[in-house]
Structure 1
């Protein structure tokens, strides 16, 4: 079991997400991070990356929920907190999920994906 890190910042010129992970994937909202059952996934805001707060990370409707411990703020008292969740030990397939985030007082949503290594 390991920790997969997904770094979150704002794309230049718009309010969409730019994501990078510790596997070397990077891109707009369409990157796919590979995880193993039992892994912890941590979403981190890039310092001065243009995103002020993550307000939610949830499975998209119609997508399976691969988490045994749903993503939640690491420090609920800190609006700029990292978020973390644990992949279920028996998870298979993939999950399309939504990240809800704030820039200033405005709320936005983007939809990356997690694939389970089997």
Structure 2
């Protein structure tokens, strides 16, 4: 089962705030499921940024595909054998400083550089 959440991305990119309006938006999207579900897969790279807010209204398992992919990759390449602290450079079409702030909070580590690109 899937539910489209078109308003999430823009709100996340602007800097998601913990507001009653956003809380109601999450609830409204979760209420669109026509059946009871026990596992929710976050189907967009933006959605893990609001996982803790989604979890307020969803008691089942919440899966972040990127996190699961990273765990699998870590198993493949070993526990730190080939891992070094990365130099993280990102390219963003929006405000580089805003992106850097959100990305650092989400990743839990320093972003070295964000370069603005023009689309």
TM-score bucket (shorter structure): 0.3 to 0.5
Instruction: Please give the TM-score of this superposition, normalised by the length of structure 2.
Output: 0.33
TM-score w.r.t. the length of structure 1 is 0.34
Q: Which has the higher strand share?
A: 1
Select the structure that is richer in helix: 2
| Higher RCO (CA 8 Å, separation ≥ 6 residues) | 1
